[in-house]
Amino acid sequence: MLYDKNCLAGKRILITGGGTGIGKGLAHHMASHGAEVVIWGRRTQVLEEAAKEINAECGEKVFFQAVDIRNAESVEAAMADIWEKHGALTGVVNNAAANFIAPTKDLSPRGYEAISSTVMDGAFFTTQAAGRRWIEQGLKGSVVSTLVTWIWTGSPYVVPSSMAKAAVHAMTMSLAVEWARYGIRLNAVAPGPFPTDYAWEMLNPTEDSSVGATQADQVPMGRFGEMSELGNLVLLLLSDGADYITGETICIDGGHHLAAPSTFAGLNSMTDAQWAQAKTAAKAASDKAKAQRSV
Ligand SMILES: CCC/C=C/C(=O)SCCNC(=O)CCNC(=O)[C@H](O)C(C)(C)COP(=O)([O-])OP(=O)([O-])OC[C@H]1O[C@@H](n2cnc3c(N)ncnc32)[C@H](O)[C@@H]1OP(=O)([O-])[O-]
Ligand SMILES: NC(=O)C1=CN([C@@H]2O[C@H](COP(=O)(O)OP(=O)(O)OC[C@H]3O[C@@H](n4cnc5c(N)ncnc54)[C@H](OP(=O)(O)O)[C@@H]3O)[C@@H](O)[C@H]2O)C=CC1
């Protein structure tokens, strides 16, 4: 373990999308360093299982709430509940996201909205609900958002995601300045490929869709990122050790976006038939998850 196992003792951190993938990995990392963690997502059973699994190792550190972050009232109610039942948060990780690959000309308004509002509105509602409380109560706080290197390069075939992540990047820089005087810091991380089940079902649903963004072969370090590496970076940003760092987005991609296509440019060669296959495969996975939603 790189950091002392109690270095986050006394911290209480909300992680949106904390029931799966990177969010679950971060919840585990923060809990195993002494923090209390609240995880949000839309599927109660998925959240419950994640909390149970982490708590079996770390003690009763992780709590969950079924919350749809696209809904400002639900976010506000859940945030009030945290403050009342657990106490003030010290940190927020805006990690929940929606995404799928699609030719932009074929995206419906609802498809665009599903992705952009989850990423952009969800991060705003969550950040504002915590930030308002910190300001009113004179408390310090740290916000870390999970972005992507497309905020610098853009990426074809995931245009709503690239646009919305760039907006959260702008929020990070803007509020870093507006809220610095309250002791509230906002930073972000931009990971390269860290394979997770749900994201890979959306972004790499067929063999033909295995290109740049989801691949390790052209990462200069020759491998995918490891959860503990991302965990250590986010831990630092959430800790008092980073008290003078704000408004920054730190890339963690083994050099990928500087050296090779870390976008979906390689999908330019997909035919209409291959796109239809990719959509069917991705929709089957998201329909399965949708059937499990509690909110
Ligand atoms: C390198 C890695 C970087 C990682 C980045 C990430 O962000 S990874 C994070 C990855 N993790 C996640 O994404 C996790 C969360 N994901 C989800 O909740 C779902 O996958 C969701 C994104 C579909 C949203 O669900 P929802 O219940 O809000 O919405 P809904 O089901 O009602 O659909 C809305 C509209 O979208 C349309 N549409 C849907 N799929 C496809 C498709 N494949 N193709 C084309 N279109 C598609 C659908 O037809 C509908 O439009 P219509 O026909 O009504 O005009
Ligand atoms: N994996 C990777 O290589 C990379 C990931 N990222 C970013 O990291 C983050 C995590 O991705 P990853 O773990 O791979 O993907 P996952 O699909 O596993 O995580 C997305 C999470 O967001 C939750 N979520 C989606 N919509 C909502 C909503 N409306 N309200 C509440 N929760 C919601 C989902 O839970 P539920 O469906 O139950 O609501 C799920 O737990 C994302 O922001 C992604 O963009 C960035 C770069 C690379």
Q: Is the ipTM reported for this complex over the cut 0.85?
A: yes
Best of 42, 64, 115, 290 for a ligand 2 pocket test (most atoms within 8 Å of beta carbon): 42
Q: Measuring from atom 2 of ligand 1, which residue has the nearest CA?
A: 193
Q: What pLDDT is recorded for position 21?
A: 98
CA distance 148 to 213: 10
Which class is 12-291 in CATH? alpha beta
Q: What is the model's pLDDT at position 269?
A: 94
User: Tell me, what's the pLDDT at 1?
Assistant: 75
In the chain (295 residues long), the average pLDDT of successive 10-residue segments reads: 93 98 98 98 98 97 98 98 98 98 98 98 99 98 98 97 98 98 98 95 94 93 97 98 98 96 94 96 95 96
Identify the H or E element spanning 228: helix 227-238
Strand order in the sheet with 184-191: 62-66, 36-41, 12-16, 91-94, 141-146, 184-191, 249-252
The structure tokens listed for 137 are 């109560």
Task: Write down the number of H helices and E strands in the chain.
Answer: 11, 7
Structure tokens at 8: 């986050």
- Contact residues of ligand 2, CB 6 A cut-off: 16-17, 19-23, 40-43, 46, 67-70, 95-98, 118, 122, 146, 148, 191, 193-194, 196, 198-199, 289
The ligand 2 atom at the shortest distance from the C-alpha of residue 71 is 29
CB 200 within 8 A of CB 224: no
- Whole-number Å distance between alpha carbons of 109 and 112: 5
State the ligand closest to the CA atom of 104: 1
Domain parsing of the chain, residue ranges: 12-291
Q: How many whole angstroms from 89 Cα to the centroid of ligand 2?
A: 21
Task: Look at residue 253 in the predicted model and tell me its pLDDT.
Answer: 98
Query: What DSSP letter does each residue of 161-221 carry, written as one string?
Result: HHHHHHHHHHHHHHHHHHSGGGTEEEEEEEE-----HHHHHHH--SGGG--GGG-STTSTT
